[in-house]
Chain A
Amino acid sequence: MRAIIFLLMGIAACPAAMSPAVVPFEKEPQKRLTPALSAALDNLVATKQKAAGIPRARPCSDEVFLRRVFLDTIGTLPTREEAVEFLKDKNPTKREALIDRLLERPEFADYWGMKWGDVLRVKSEFPVNLWPNAAQAYDAWIRASLRQNMPYSEFARKLLTADGSNFRNPPVNFLRSAGSREPAALAAAAALTFMGERVANWTPEKRADLAVFFSRVGFKKTGEWKEEIVYFTPPPADGTAPSSARLPDGTLVKIPPESDPREIFAQWLVYSSNSPFAKNAANRIWFWIFGRGIIHEPDDSRPGNPPSNPELLAWLGRQLQSAKYDTKQFLRIILNSDTYQLSPIPPDGKPRSGADLASYPVRRLEGEVLIDAINRITGTKEDYMSMIPEPFTFLPDDMRAIDVPDGSITSSFLELFGRPPRDTGLLAERPVNVTASQRLSLLNSKHILNKINNSRKLKDLVQSAPGQAEAIPLLYLTFLSRYPTSDELAAISAYQPPAASGKRQKLSDVAWALVNSPEFLYRH
């Protein structure tokens, strides 16, 4: 235990000179002034854990917190400078302050825009045929909404009820991305996206009922190439259109002929106390932060798949409502909690599912985040391509993968690391397992080896140190956002590449090993 305290002091006081002897992932529990709502969250988690006899990991170290919160909020690694700055900061509220800063960074909208792009099927071609310039308008609208921190309730209403051109009023693309223009398909997309329910699990009657709310949506072409107008078609005068319909909670509502029934559904969805809207939204955000929903999968809510902690989910839904669907406000509650700030190391050495929140669930970085990290560290770029001719597409040379505006634009690396095809909007489209082909690519592909071996940026970094020994902490801070341990320094010091290889080979091999380590590859 003394060693750990020593480690913390050591880092704070005197960075490079002292290397910790022990594992830099966790720290002793300390008294900490947790913000009230976050503490309430922790209580709900702890109550459940106590009742089930689930042990709890120790708090994570500052190093781990720093890297984790960067990745979870902005999908971007801290730079070496940001790491040094944060690690030496002695302010007891520095974690809270960092969360606030990150939520205001432009990359927040970039990264969460990518997540929403998966859910909302932002893709120009096959099987979701939005077409390039509509897909990009849609993407730009999503990211702008996130940048403005548009309340989620408003965001959802716009997606459900917008009318107009796919180019000029981008949220109309939500209904265009449903795969089919049939009312039943539009209803299914709405139920999946905003209720977290798969209509395949519903009765045929319930499905037909929801479809009625989307039965007055019209689609028409214009003279402009690939433009499409989404609009309200009034019911035929012969009285054959239904004049009432049943909402998913069973309530029968009247549908006046002059009003778009989508509005009636959206009103119920957002405001009714029977609507799963808030809980579903809270659960999806929870999933994005912890890798596992309280209902899991978050888009498979049904009686046979109950929440692992119903009280917590209900409470989170209420918090989102009382924050007026301000996602950032809601994220602050989660990110400041002790639950979020647990060590990744299971308390009893037993592997756990993540559902019990005994420790922070470790999972592989998304392909986009991973390649962006490698590119930024090495100062290299990536080629993206689209399967289809995209006359409206301009991809800047230094575009990051999390910014790619269209699911049809991709790269071999992203495909290998499981970029979601954006065919269904299901969260499970994004695999987070590791495969042998992925490891082969990171270990031995020309693509990755060239980035590491020929990196001007890494060369400059290494040369900025007086000698090889001093360069190692710089590499560690750059790749892993922490200082090396004494064991790691000893292993590196003992390492000898074959004599024939060049002078720089040793540091190149260290950089290669860091990229390939689970600590780099997994959020933890």
Chain B
Amino acid sequence: MKSLIIPSHAGLSRRALFRYSFLTTAAMLLGQRTGFSLPAEPVKLTAKAQAVIQIWLWGGPCHIDTFDPKPDAGHDFCGPLNEAISTNVDGIQIGRLLPNLAKQADKFSLIRSMTHENNAHETASYMVQTGHTEGERLVYPSMGAVVSLLKGYDAGYKGLLPPYIVLTEPQGRFSEAGFLGPKYKPFATGGDPAKTPFAVEGIVAEGISPEHQNLRRELLGKLDTLGRQFQNDPQFAEYRKCGDAAYDMILGEGAEVFDLSKESEELRNSYGRNTFGQSCLAARRLVERGAKYVTINYKGWDTHKQHFQTMNRKLPELDQGLATLLQDLADHGLLDSTIVWCGGEFGRTPRVQWEAPWNGGRSHYGKVFSTLIAGGGFRGGHVVGSSDARGESVVDRPVYPWDLTASMYELLGIDPDGTFPRTDDESVRLTPKIAGNVKSGGRLKEIM
């Protein structure tokens, strides 16, 4: 299996070396944080993708205003957003508030036939984030936690930051570690990347300058009366070594990766000087340094009221940040090894609710919705499946949440039909068995 963490062959590229050194200098042996490291399932697949960036549009973005426009459906469906624009791929059109993404359409594909039929935020989020149905016996981990287990810790990941990182706030229990336990929870950065400094929890302590950090570190050394009695003791040497590694995070590489001022003003501006845009930039920097799964938790898509006003405000932000991310990943040679997917837990009712109290809002819609997917072995410039003329139901090639996660697992070199390594129970699978009520449209072979 190919691994960027512990390169097994000589002749590393400069970039691979950079990742490698970040992970090793920043980290001592994490040790076995929950005691037992259980053997990973043997992975037989070749991994095309090494990392995932998930842009989570929490609340449920409207599919017909974004990736599945229906300009001919009329005012009751489109409201003021009644135009679609052409992209740099013949035959693919997207919503008119996404002009920058239109120039990147060769890099991504659109799934216009996502479906799970559930209109409740939490259940729908659970299904999309975990790739499992609601009715199973256990609470399953989100995909980020699974990747953190199988591509992270069990694959020898030793970084100080967990391999699963959320910018900036955690998404709540339906997107976390499930039965895997808190070790596999994402590291939520906190802070705001659009501000200087980006106060990342544990790394950048607000109110303590680097100078003050150094003074405190010196004081700690002077007050270590017990440690001075154990100059040659391996346990105390380990304590000091771990302290050095921790300070590398606080004053060195950890602070560095989150220091977005290291990027050019031009690039920062093209991402958009807002929390979302700068989160996209931080995501690229993290993936570049070996993070395995980065989620940008982008809130504010639950637009029951003031839907179109919100779209006018948010879509240009999404457009700018995501389009720049795709271009920037490609420029850094990272797009081929990084899956980027963008979507929410469901779509929104195609028919606009003009009546009070909504006054132009859209409600939850799990029957059909869209997801954008790019990189890491997914081909760009394609559309998977379709919805009907008003975006109300799937016309062909339904894609269920587990079809999507299974496809991503496959490209990550993880067997989607495998069982979790902590159990021998064959029913505890990475993706559910397709039978009975669990329907499937199959993996996204057409774009893999």
Contact = CB atoms under 8 A, between A and B. Distances in A.
Among A421, A435, A445, the most chain B Cβ lie within 10 Å of the Cβ of: A435
A449 B222 CA distance: 20
A326 interface: no
B41 to A, nearest CB: 16
Contacts of B185: 412
A25 B226 contact: yes
B264 interface: no
Given A127-B422, A421-B181, A440-B202, A23 B238 contact: no
A521 B230 CA distance: 14
B232 interface: yes
B435 interface: no
Interface stretch (A261-269, A273-281, A374-382, A487-495): A487-495
Interface stretch (B27-35, B300-308, B335-343, B410-418): B27-35
Contacts of B179: 125-126, 387-388
A444 B203 contact: yes
Interface string A427-444: 011110111111111011
Given A350-B232, A431-B32, A518-B226, A127 B239 contact: no
A518 B227 CA distance: 6
A426 B33 CA distance: 15
B28 A519 contact: no
Among B215, B219, B230, B238, the most chain A Cβ lie within 10 Å of the Cβ of: B219
B178 interface: yes
A512 B213 CA distance: 11
Interface in A473-524: 485, 487-488, 491-492, 495-498, 500-501, 509-510, 512-514, 516-519, 521-522, 524
B286 interface: no
Interface stretch (B48-56, B89-97, B244-252, B320-328): B244-252
Nearest to A520: B226
Contacts of A509: 215-216, 219
B230 A23 contact: no
B202 A445 contact: yes
A126 B242 contact: no
Given A387-B177, A415-B33, A518-B227, A434 B238 contact: yes
Contact of B225 (A410, A487, A522): A487
A436 B247 CA distance: 9
Given A485-B225, A491-B222, A387 B139 contact: yes
B374 to A, nearest CB: 32
Interface in B115-160: 138-139, 160
A428 B35 contact: yes
B225 A512 contact: no
B212 interface: yes
B224 interface: yes
B76 interface: no
B225 A23 contact: yes
A25 B215 CA distance: 27
Given A428-B35, A434-B242, A446-B190, A415 B222 contact: no
A419 interface: yes
Interface string B216-242: 100110111111111111111011011
Contact of A510 (B33, B219, B225, B227): B219
Given A439-B246, A509-B216, A513-B220, A418 B31 contact: yes
Given A23-B225, A350-B232, A444 B205 contact: yes
Interface string A120-147: 0000011100000000000000000000
A436 B229 contact: no
Given A387-B177, A440-B249, A412 B219 contact: no
Contacts of B216: 497, 509, 512-513
A388 B183 CA distance: 15
Interface of B: 27-36, 138-139, 160, 177-179, 181-183, 185, 190, 201-203, 205, 207-209, 211-213, 215-216, 219-220, 222-236, 238-239, 241-243, 245-247, 249-250, 422-423, 425
Given A445-B202, A498-B211, A418 B223 contact: no
B182 A433 contact: no
B422 to A, nearest CB: 7
B35 A418 contact: yes
A217 B212 CA distance: 64
A399 interface: no
A509 B215 CA distance: 9
Contact of B160 (A387, A440, A487, A501): A440
Contacts of B245: 436, 439-440
A501 B238 contact: no
Shortest Cβ-Cβ A-B pairs, 10 listed: A429-B35, A436-B245, A440-B246, A519-B226, A491-B222, A415-B182, A436-B242, A439-B246, A513-B220, A126-B179
Nearest to A408: B181
B439 to A, nearest CB: 27
